[in-house]
Each structure stands twice: as structure tokens, then as C-alpha cells.
Structure 1
Amino acid sequence: MTMSAARPGATDGASASSPARYEDAVLGFRNHWYPAMFSSDVRETEIKTLRVLGEDILLKRVDGRVYGVRDECLHRGFQLSKKPECFTKNTVTCWFHGFTYNLADGGLVGIPSDPDSKLIGKLKLRSYPIEEHKGMLFVFIGDIEPPPLSDDLPPEFLAEDMHVVPFHQQEVASNWRIAADSASELNHTFIHKRDALLDYWRQPLPFAEIPRGNNPYEGWILHEGPGFKGFTDAFGDAIPVFEYKFECDGEVGVVRAAYDPAVEPGSVAFGNMEATLALPCGLRIGPWGANPGDPESANYWHYEWYVPVDETHHRYLIAWGSKVANAEEALRVEHDVRTRWSYLEYEGFNASDITANEGSQRAYAEDGYEFGEKENLSRSDGYVLTWRRIAAKHNRGLQVRYGGKK
């Protein structure tokens, strides 16, 4: 019986890197870099496992470098991480029958019951390119030669003077596209109108935006040239809504933002902020993080990602970055984020996004309720439509289940 290492998620031939429809990207887009976890999560000689785009990956740090291979023995499919054994630092041995693999390239190097097997040196576990930057581990899921990591990240994340502090990651019970669709779309700020972070800053934040024109595709800065692909929403290009009145059966309802910009100017003027969403699933928004009464201290950029785990879950990762000139400034940023913003920003703001995304999952999981088919989008949903167009045009291929077909 001949055994081979199947290519999980791969499509056939030249189509492996052909752009895919957004509606079909339940498991995300193939041939892209994705943040896997934080550097501190994988210590020397330690084994960790995670699922990305439906693929189970075993990670191990050896002499400071992290390697990744498919978490499944090629013999009879035992999940290596269930009871991992390492008889040398650079190998992993299947607990079930002793098949042993080189972590650097996934190659089969030994079989206790058949030491002269022709499978040795022939079979290979799927190996995943790993890059480590700014305290985060990035894994490439795909079949093509990996492009530069910067092509799959929001702007300036890898800048030499950008000090990044990763501080939050969790698994969210919703498909990744629900989160990406809402990422920088300003009408979703309706959910944030009473969040604690705004009280800390006494920050006016509109809970809706009214487009100035009738074309839902206007008002965005597109990034379709060399480098990352995506678009930027410059918040000053729409009409902010801080109060809304409606009438129903003779009764008037009023919705108000927590703070009125005419009374409370806030720490950051709303029109001075922007958000950039980049393929495959990363957002940058800012400048952010000003101290109350000191707008000039708004020198932080918020980064977050929505990494597909499976059809109904994604991994949500957050990091904050700030430009620094020296090690002393970097230490100040590190301390500021970890002792103040990491709690205020997540518990006081982004936790609301988790509730919104998980609360939408049931509808999108129903039979027939597919992206773009049963939604009722309005003129104000230009963000969603623009993102879906950019993603469908510039992705490098569709991810499918292990052994599945496009």
C-alpha cells in the first residue's frame, strides 16, 4: 500500500492561487500569511497546537526558532499532539507506532517496526513556513512560494520604529467574515455608544455615519498596488450621527451618544482617525490611546485580526503599536499598554464586538442564508460591499476542507 502526504485545503493545479468568491470563503483564503499566536505562547522545546483555516498544526520551538508541521501522523492518522514524544529536540515521534518526523521539513526519519522502509526519506508531513515578528508568530497556509509577510499585514506593522505589544487573543463563535465585515464599518459603533472606554476618555463617538453621496462604493481609499491589498476608511468623509429621533405609533424615541462633541471635544477628534482593512483579515485603526485632556498623546495604533479556525469559529487577536525612538520609549509603551489599555480597550470596548459577531452567527449558519443573498443592505453599507469586492479580487485562492475539492 502506497502512502502520500495529502495537501490539506489545496486546490488543483493553476487554480490553487486563483481569486475566490467571498461567498465561498467559509474557511478563509488560501496562500496567505495569518497570525497564529503570540511568541510567548511557545517556549523553548515546548509543543503547541492550533487550528488555522481548518488545518491542525503542531508547533515547536527549537534553538529559538518555531517550526510547524501538520498535526497528524501519515501512518494511520493519529494526532501527534495528543501524546507527543520527542527523543531528539528536532523531531517528533508518534506515540501510537513510533513513526518519527523531522520538525524542520516534516520528513519521515524512522519507523521502529520497519527501519529499512522505503517510506523513510520519502514521506513528509506538511510543513508550514513560520515567521516571528513583533512578539507574534505568523504561519503561511498555502501551496505557492510565500510572498513577503508585509503583503498580508495592515500598514506599518513591521516598521522598524513601531513597537508592538500583543495583549489579547481568544476564540470567537462566529465565522471570520462576520467580524471582517463589521471591522471598521462605522455604523456598527451603535453597539459602543455606552462602552466604558468612552467614559474614561469622555470621548464623543458617533453611533452612525450618513454617506455624503449616493454611490456606496465612494469615500474609500483603495490599496490595490504593490504591497498589501485593502482599503482605508477616513472617518471625516461622512456625516457623523450623535443623536437620532424616530416616531412609532405617536411615541418619539431618542437615541443619543454618550457625549456631545459640542460639549466634550474628547481626546481624539473623530475626523482625525482612520481604519485600514487588509487581506487576508487584519485591521489597523487610530491614532488612539490619548490621555484625557491631552489629544497629542494619541500615538497608538490598534491592530486586530480575524483568523478562520473552522466554519463557525475564528481566532481574534489584538495588538497595539506605537512609534518609538529608543528602548526607553519602547519600555514606556509596553508598560502603558499592559497596565492600562489592555484592560480598558478590550473589556471597555472590543468585548462588545464579540457579542455582536457571535449574535449574528446563527443567521449566517442557517441553510440558504449566505453572504449577499438574504441580507438587506442599505446605502450606508458601502464598507461591507467595498471590502467584499477587494477581498474577492485580490485573494490568492480558496481554502477548502482537508481532502475536499473546490
Structure 2
Amino acid sequence: MSVSTGARGLAGANHEQAHPEPARYEDAVLGFRNHWYPAMFSSDIRETEIKTLKLLGEDILLKRVDGHVYAVRDECLHRGFQFSAKPECFTKNTITCWFHGFTYSFKDGSLVGIPSDPESKLIGKLKLHSYPVEEHKGMLFVFVGDLNPPPPLADDLQPGFLDEDRYIVPFHQEEVASNWRIAADSASEFNHTFIHKEDDLIHYWRQPLPFAETPRSDNPYEGFTLHEGPGPKGFTDSFTDVIPVFEFKIECDDEVEVVRSAYNPMTEQGSLSVQAIDATLTLPCGLRIGPWGANPGDPASADYVQYEWYVPVDETHHRYIIAWAKKVSSEVEALKVEHDVRTRWSYIAYDGFNASDVRANEGSQRAYSEDGYEFGEKENLSRIDAYVLTWRRLAAKHNRGLQVRYGGKK
């Protein structure tokens, strides 16, 4: 079921931006403004329940009212008290500031009453910044920006996510102690699979996964398909125009050691060829990769697609969200997919594979936090980094503006 909900309130005075210009990737510490971002799972917020969330440095208050989820800025316009410090809702559609009683509508953020000044001219004039919200496939998406109306959600989602026959199982979300760009830069960049060479998922699959790739030609950009027309902006890597690397000889000080991936296709028959996998990275921060998940002796477990996002929280943290998906033709098939993901893949895929990505991203944050270590300034990139450079160039070209701290200058 898909439900389009949310407030379409006016932007606050500090965030007026009628025609935003694309921002430099180097400047996007807090992410790109005027995009849709996954916020949480539908199951995370029940009827009448209030939830708080930080997206792109902004504090947001969410509430489900009559099935719909609304979102407003978590800060009273009177003297800045944060509603979530002691939320009070005397009617289902309003939030009242505990400090002085200023009361606002959840639906559009408008100020509807002041106990000490019921005739105030501010009533009906002041509005909290409200955030459009859409709910699809068991997930909530929040638009952080000023465009009114916002662009279609589909323009900020990976291909296939909204397809009617694709059943989505959201199963993992965590806050990671690294900037979102560190994760996006290596989302499906194949040479980072070196960290996965002994992961449990590889042993479970008996999958000959290479831990590096070498371009087949002098042009390392040859294998990418760019998506710059209508719809989502990004690029696809099909993993077909490269030479996979399964072992690497290390020689130093008369010592020789050979590093190997868990399985080598010369000696092992894997369950799925890596050449069959493709990955699409799209603005503002989402990856689609698959087909995924085959298991020896269980062909029905194949053809899963993984969706994941690296959602900016603040300058040094992002929210890592994962969902698995599979095409189904009936409710019975959908229930089987739900059961399969919940009881098997949600554990094997994360603990046995994606947790390594989290460790790698957090282990890189210190360097990018140092003074002068800006993206692109102190890195030593080579031709193997065509993936990273392609993503950065596309993101800088097609984003809808720079996110800054509330009240800051763009």
C-alpha cells in the first residue's frame, strides 16, 4: 500500500530558495537540500505517537494522525524551546510548547493559539517549517527543502523501488559515526570488496567474490551507464567490463604471501556469477544492487535486490538504512519473501557482510574530520577510483542545492 501524506507548509524565512543552484560535492557536509530522504520505517511510528528525528542537521518532530504522518520543525518560534524536550498534545492535530503554551497545527505548522495573548496578530501568520512526508512500501520519506510543491518522490529513489510487483522488506537502520559521503563514495565501488574477502556471507553462499577489479581497457569509465535524463540521477556499474581479481601476491623483505578471496572461480562453483550483478547509485544518497541472495540448493532464494541509503544526520554521522526486495505475483509469495528476509537474510546479510562496510566507513571518519583534509584535497586517487569520481561529478551536477545549518548562509 502506498499513501501520500504530509504537510506542504511554507518555508521558514531562513531557508527561502526559489531556484537553488547545484552545490559542490566538497561543500555537502550536511548533504544536499531539496531532496527526499528515507526517515524511518512505517512500523516505527504508531497512531498518535510522536517521534523525533535529525535529518541533514535539522531537528524534526513527526506524528501519525488518522493514519497520516506529519512533520514539523522541532523548535518553537517564540523563544526556541524544543518541543521534544517535553511534548504536549492537547488535541491530536496540535503540538503545544511546554514553555509558554504556543500551540501549532501538525498539518501545516501554523500557529493556532497563545494562552497569554489569544488575540495576537501572530496567530495564523507564524508557521513552523513543515516537511512533506510520503509513505510507501513500509518506509517514510521526508522532503528536506523549500520547493513547494516538492519534486516527485520517484525522482529521488533508486530504480524499481516503487514498482507495484516489487515487495520491499525494510529490515535494518542504524546511526553510523561517519559523514554520509564516505559511505556513498564506496557504496558499490568494487575494489572495496577487499574488506569482504572472508565475510560469513561469502562462505554461506560459497560465492566466488573477487576482492578487486582491473579495467579491461585504458578507459576506467567504460563500464558505467550515466542516468542524467528525466527521473533519478545517477549511474549504473554492471561489473562486466572489468577483470576480477581473486588473489594478490605481497612481497616485502624476502617474505612472500598470497592473499586470496574465500572462493576462486577456477576451483569453486559459486551460486551466482558476479558478472550478473549490477549496481545503481542515485541522488541524493541511495544504492540499488542485485540480483542478490542465491543459496546453494535453494533457487527460490535468488533474485533479491538490496536497497540501501546513507542519510546525512549531521557533519559526522549518517543513518544507514537497508531493505531487501523481490518481485512477487501474489500475497503468498510476498509472505514467503517477508519470512525469508526476516529469518535469514536480515542476519546473514548485515552481520555477515554489511557490518564490514560500517566498520570501514567509521574507520575513515577521523581523516576527513581533520583540518585541511577536505574531499578531493588530500586524497591520493588513481585510475581505480573512476567510480568515486563519476559519482562525485554527477552529484555535483544534478543536486538541488546545498544544505547548511538552520539559519546559516548558503
TM-score (norm 2): 0.95
Decide which of 78, 81, 86 is 1:83's aligned counterpart. Answer: 86
Shift of 1:82: 1.1
Contact 1:214 1:379 in 2 (8 A): no
1:42-81 deviation per Cα after TM superposition (whole angstroms, max 9, x unaligned): 1000000000000110000000000000000001101001
368-377 vs 244-253, which moves further:
244-253
Partner of 2:66: 63
How many angstroms apart in 1 are the aligned matches of 2:98 and 2:301? 54
Question: Is residue 174 of structure 2 the alignment partner of residue 185 of structure 1?
Answer: no
How many angstroms apart in 2 are the aligned matches of 1:11 and 1:44? 32
* Number of residue pairs matched by the alignment: 400
Shift of 1:264: 1.9
Q: Give matches, 1:41-60, under 5 Å.
A: 41-60=44-63
Q: What secondary structure is seen at the aligned counterpart in 2 of 1:67?
A: strand
Letter in 1 for 2:231: G
Question: Is residue 126 of structure 2 the alignment partner of residue 123 of structure 1?
Answer: yes
Q: Give matches, 1:4-403, under 5 Å.
A: 6-7=12-13, 10=15, 12-14=17-19, 17-144=20-147, 145-294=149-298, 297-403=301-407
How many angstroms apart in 1 are the aligned matches of 2:137 and 2:96? 31
Letter in 1 for 2:220: P
Contact 1:218 1:382 in 2 (8 A): no
How many angstroms apart in 2 are the aligned matches of 1:146 and 1:109? 25
Q: What secondary structure is seen at the aligned counterpart in 1 of 2:271?
A: coil
Letter in 2 for 1:290: A
Shift of 1:384: 0.1
Letter in 1 for 2:85: K
How many angstroms apart in 2 are the aligned matches of 1:171 and 1:7? 30
Pair 1:117–1:354, CA change in 2 (3 A): same
Pair 1:81–1:193, CA change in 2 (3 A): same
How many angstroms apart in 2 are the aligned matches of 1:169 and 1:83? 26
Runs of at least 5 residues in structure 1 that lack an aligned partner in the other structure: none
How many angstroms apart in 1 are the aligned matches of 2:375 and 2:191? 18
Letter in 2 for 1:254: V
Contact 1:274 1:285 in 2 (8 A): yes
How many angstroms apart in 2 are the aligned matches of 1:219 and 1:270? 14
Shift of 1:294: 4.5
Contact 2:30 2:315 in 1 (8 A): yes
How many angstroms apart in 2 are the aligned matches of 1:118 and 1:55? 28
Partner of 2:7: none
155-164 vs 144-153, which moves further:
144-153
Contact 2:18 2:146 in 1 (8 A): no
TM-score (norm 1): 0.96
1:218-269 deviation per Cα after TM superposition (whole angstroms, max 9, x unaligned): 2201111111000001112111000111211221121100011122221111
How many angstroms apart in 1 are the aligned matches of 2:117 and 2:104? 15
Q: What secondary structure is seen at the aligned counterpart in 2 of 1:235?
A: coil
How many angstroms apart in 2 are the aligned matches of 1:394 and 1:174? 23
How many angstroms apart in 2 are the aligned matches of 1:86 and 1:201? 51
- Superposition CA RMSD, Å: 1.3
Q: What secondary structure is seen at the aligned counterpart in 2 of 1:187?
A: helix
How many angstroms apart in 1 are the aligned matches of 2:220 and 2:208? 25
Letter in 2 for 1:330: A
Pair 1:13–1:67, CA change in 2 (3 A): closer
- Percent identity, aligned pairs only, is 78
1:191-236 deviation per Cα after TM superposition (whole angstroms, max 9, x unaligned): 0001001111111110001111223332201111111000001112
How many angstroms apart in 2 are the aligned matches of 1:162 and 1:256? 36
Letter in 1 for 2:105: N
